[in-house]
Structure 1
Amino acid sequence: MPDTPNPAAADSAYPSPVPTAAPWWKNEDWLAVLAALPVLIAASKGIFPSETMLPVWFLVISGVALLASLGKKMVPFILGAVIVYALGWASQWIAAQPAVKAYGLEYVIFALGLGLIWSHTLPVPEWLREAVRTEFFIKVGIVLLGATILLPEMLKAGMPGLIQAALVIPVVWYACFFIAKKLKVDEEFGVMLSTAVSICGVSAAIAACGAIQGDRKKLSYVTSIVLLCAVPMMIFMPVVIKQMGLSEAVGGAWLGGTLDTSGSVAAATEQVGKDATKVGVIVKLSQNVLIGVAAFVLSVWWSMRGGANGERGKVSVKVIWERFPKFVIGFVLASVIFSYLVPAEVAAAASKPLKAVREAWFAAAFVCIGLETRLGELFSLGGGRPALAFLGGQVFNIAWTLVLALWLFGK
């Protein structure tokens, strides 16, 4: 990764906050792990919430995890969380309708849209703002995601996918970061954009933001553009695959390596064929596995270069630890435990129910992104240059991943 400071970083309209060591009960990374813990323990015993009980699990687990940090604000949080959950449930209901499902549009798009509609047409009172916990909700979802990534199965069936992920991530990351620098996008923004393009979209951007103590407005920008870009890719890439006469395996590997959310990969590959879905999901999961590695590398590199100001200095283990996104530890441990310590049949049976639970938190997170985003501010941020950097990185990603997919899966 490059280490030359970007002069534009000092002129950023949203400078990075100086990292401070908050007690663990106020650190959203640790609280996300704490919130995911009872769900994972229950799942290891084969216990899952019914559809009617899921909102209770969501409210109780989130409330208990945030209790110490919320204090007297617990009641407003619960009231706001009811609204957030309801909008998230509505987004999932809309996405499940046959007429919508036929287009492959997933719930995260509707969750973001409903949040934006509310924030632009209705007031967002203080009690609702207490429940706008975007990073907390999505970090809980990422920890839960770890339990569905079974490493032995991936190593057995997905070695080409792991090779593709290992070759895609560093090359695409650097290409997008290079484009961002040429467009005079500040490095903090460039890191989040590059990580989102090269790994797995929003989840990776959240991890990158935590690793570099990034700005929340920039993170909202990145998540929004990831989702906006995913829609046309999800619709048109399967058509291109068929027109090019690519095999299902190559098409699945291409989609899995370029689309930035697991849901969009599943929706797009289903339009190509069963083999495409199998390969695409493995490739995407292979990239997801490397979230932890990427977060660690970014936290070390960002600390060594002196943060957003690029002022080099002595880097201590303490500084790296403070910057490292702790929820990634929960993600890795969940994957290891469900891969090797939970009985194989229990871990396999838990995949689908855990997906439903995880999506409840993810839906809430994307509703929150909409609630805290003002489109006017979003479009003016960076003068459109970050969007161009993202699109440039995505074009390179599409071309490079196709080359690798043809090489690894073309036989």
Structure 2
Amino acid sequence: MSDDKSVDVQAPDALAVATGGGSTDQPAETERPHWAWTLAGAVLVLGLSVLVYWLTVWVPQATAGTGFGRIAKSIEFPVYAIIIGFGANVVLSALGLRTKMSKAFRTEFFIKTGLVLLGASINFAVIARAALPAIAQGILLITTVFLFTWWFAGLLGVDDKLRALLSSAVSICGVSAAVAAAGAVQAKKEQLAYTASLVIVFAVPMIFFLPWASDLLGLSTAVTGAWIGGNIDTTAAVSAAGSLAGEQPLQIATIVKVTQNALLGVVAVLLSLYFTVKVERQQGNARPKLITLWHSFPKFVLGFLIASVIATIFSSTVDAEFAKTAIANANNLRTWFLTLAFVSIGLEFSFGSLKEAGWKPVVVFVGATVVNLAVGLLLATVLWGNFTF
């Protein structure tokens, strides 16, 4: 694009742009830090992840027999990872090192790799049985929440391009949806950064709130997973909340979320066509953008499905104990990648871009989140209430 204020749909590092690390508005020296800083950041992420693993083992042992010991047993690795990531973020920011190391904080890469490995632990028969309710939930929830957010943002006079980003982010899959929408409507980088920061600000407390609320409401494992997968905006946060809720809720949450991710390309194409025909027609730059469908489609969804198919065939053709050991090893590797992702969530977070766009987008996001939670719980209960593993 010729306009340097617009966002390319193929933006290579959405989360870094969104949260202030590696911002495309920075000079080239900041945007591309020296390899030594990236290496130092990678060592830091790995070291913090090892610390997380150690804490998950040591804290329950050290507090056994105490009042806190009962609580410590239920604290899963995502909690330690996110807290430690935030703590390290504060220290690095105070020392002026966080931006220099930011290229190593690869949340999206870590989470997508972890989710592909998660596919290896899910029998493809479960995915096949879950496909219909997941697709129905995805279409109904995305449509309802997108249209409400679009209407509410318009009611408050929010710019059309920012409306598109907010509506896509809160209804589909957070940062990735915001990036795809930004490319489709040629939004400004500042609008993308602001929207993605809102996504993360709202997603982090949801990691802890939804598992707690699901337990409080006595929801089944399938309904819990569907509510988490349909309502938490970022894939990384869905994985964290699902991990806290349990293995079966995590599986359903992931299936629901990857289904919504798969619908992202369709929404991006529709947005592109709408802005081309309705909004920018008078500028004479109408052009087909069907290639947006492929650019926006999250490729890791295919990896997730392929891993499930391969693991299912593998488990049915080899010795049961050998298959169990192999799947366990894949799950351990998945846990490591998810830990790296959750640590990176804390490290990447920045409040900087939250100061730019005023109060209206915040109000829109709050309202859309409330509607998303209510409609999502209703759909999860109706569509997943009778689902069994």
Scaled to the shorter chain, the TM-score interval is: 0.5 to 0.7
Instruction: Please tell me the residue identity of whatever aligns with 2:260.
Output: Q
Instruction: Please tell me the residue identity of whatever aligns with 2:163.
Output: G
Q: Deviations over 1:73-98 (max 9, x none)?
A: 99954123213323433554455432
1:95-134 → structure 2 map (5 Å cutoff): 95-96=52-53, 97-98=55-56, 102=75, 104-105=78-79, 107=81, 111=85, 114-115=88-89, 117-122=91-96, 128=100, 132=103
8 Å CA contact retained: 1:88, 1:367: no
For 1:161 and 1:194, locate their aligned partners in 2 and report how far apart those are by CA, in whole Å.
20
364, 377, 387: which is aligned to 2:362?
Answer: 387
8 Å CA contact retained: 1:16, 1:214: no
For 1:382 and 1:75, locate their aligned partners in 2 and report how far apart those are by CA, in whole Å.
27
Instruction: Please tell me the residue identity of whatever aligns with 2:314.
Output: E
Question: 1:102 is paired with a residue of what secondary structure?
Answer: coil
12, 17, 25: which is aligned to 2:5?
Answer: 17
187, 199, 217: which is aligned to 2:190?
Answer: 217
Residue in 1 aligned with 2:174?
Answer: 201
Q: Deviations over 1:148-196 (max 9, x none)?
A: 6689653333321221112111211121222222222222222222222
For 2:337 and 2:94, locate their aligned partners in 1 and report how far apart those are by CA, in whole Å.
27
Residue in 2 aligned with 1:67?
Answer: none
228, 233, 249: which is aligned to 1:276?
Answer: 249
For 2:242 and 2:108, locate their aligned partners in 1 and report how far apart those are by CA, in whole Å.
26
Residue in 1 aligned with 2:24?
Answer: none
Q: Does residue 258 of structure 2 align to residue 285 of structure 1?
A: yes
Q: Deviations over 1:42-74 (max 9, x none)?
A: xxxxxxxxxxxxxxxxxxxxxxxxxxxxx9999
8 Å CA contact retained: 1:147, 1:338: yes
1:157-168 → structure 2 map (5 Å cutoff): 157-168=130-141
For 1:273 and 1:142, locate their aligned partners in 2 and report how far apart those are by CA, in whole Å.
17
Compared with structure 1, are the counterparts of its residues 311 and 77 closer, same or farther at alpha carbon in structure 2 (3 Å cutoff)?
farther
Q: CA RMSD in A?
A: 4.5
Compared with structure 1, are the counterparts of its residues 351 and 392 closer, same or farther at alpha carbon in structure 2 (3 Å cutoff)?
farther
Residue in 1 aligned with 2:286?
Answer: 315
8 Å CA contact retained: 1:165, 1:257: yes
Instruction: Please tell me the residue identity of whatever aligns with 1:326.
Output: H
1:394 Cα deviation after fit:
0.6
Instruction: Please tell me the residue identity of whatever aligns with 2:79.
Output: L
Mean Cα deviation higher: 240-249 or 171-180: 240-249
Percent of aligned pairs with the same amino acid: 27
8 Å CA contact retained: 2:42, 2:104: no
Compared with structure 1, are the counterparts of its residues 304 and 139 closer, same or farther at alpha carbon in structure 2 (3 Å cutoff)?
farther
1:370-385 → structure 2 map (5 Å cutoff): 370=349, 373=350, 375=351, 377-385=352-360
For 1:295 and 1:157, locate their aligned partners in 2 and report how far apart those are by CA, in whole Å.
25
TM-score by length of 2: 0.67
Question: 1:251 is paired with a residue of what secondary structure?
Answer: helix
Compared with structure 1, are the counterparts of its residues 212 and 251 closer, same or farther at alpha carbon in structure 2 (3 Å cutoff)?
same
Compared with structure 1, are the counterparts of its residues 211 and 245 closer, same or farther at alpha carbon in structure 2 (3 Å cutoff)?
same
Q: Does residue 41 of structure 2 align to residue 84 of structure 1?
A: yes
Count the aligned residue pairs: 340
225, 228, 232: which is aligned to 1:252?
Answer: 225
Residue in 2 aligned with 1:155?
Answer: 128
In structure 2, runs of 5+ residues without a counterpart are 15-27, 60-71, 316-325
For 1:355 and 1:273, locate their aligned partners in 2 and report how far apart those are by CA, in whole Å.
15
In structure 1, runs of 5+ residues without a counterpart are 1-14, 22-26, 33-70
8 Å CA contact retained: 1:143, 1:330: no
For 2:134 and 2:142, locate their aligned partners in 1 and report how far apart those are by CA, in whole Å.
12
For 1:405 and 1:74, locate their aligned partners in 2 and report how far apart those are by CA, in whole Å.
42
For 1:138 and 1:178, locate their aligned partners in 2 and report how far apart those are by CA, in whole Å.
32
1:362 Cα deviation after fit:
5.2
For 1:256 and 1:228, locate their aligned partners in 2 and report how far apart those are by CA, in whole Å.
17
357, 373, 379: which is aligned to 1:404?
Answer: 379
Mean Cα deviation higher: 205-214 or 172-181: 205-214
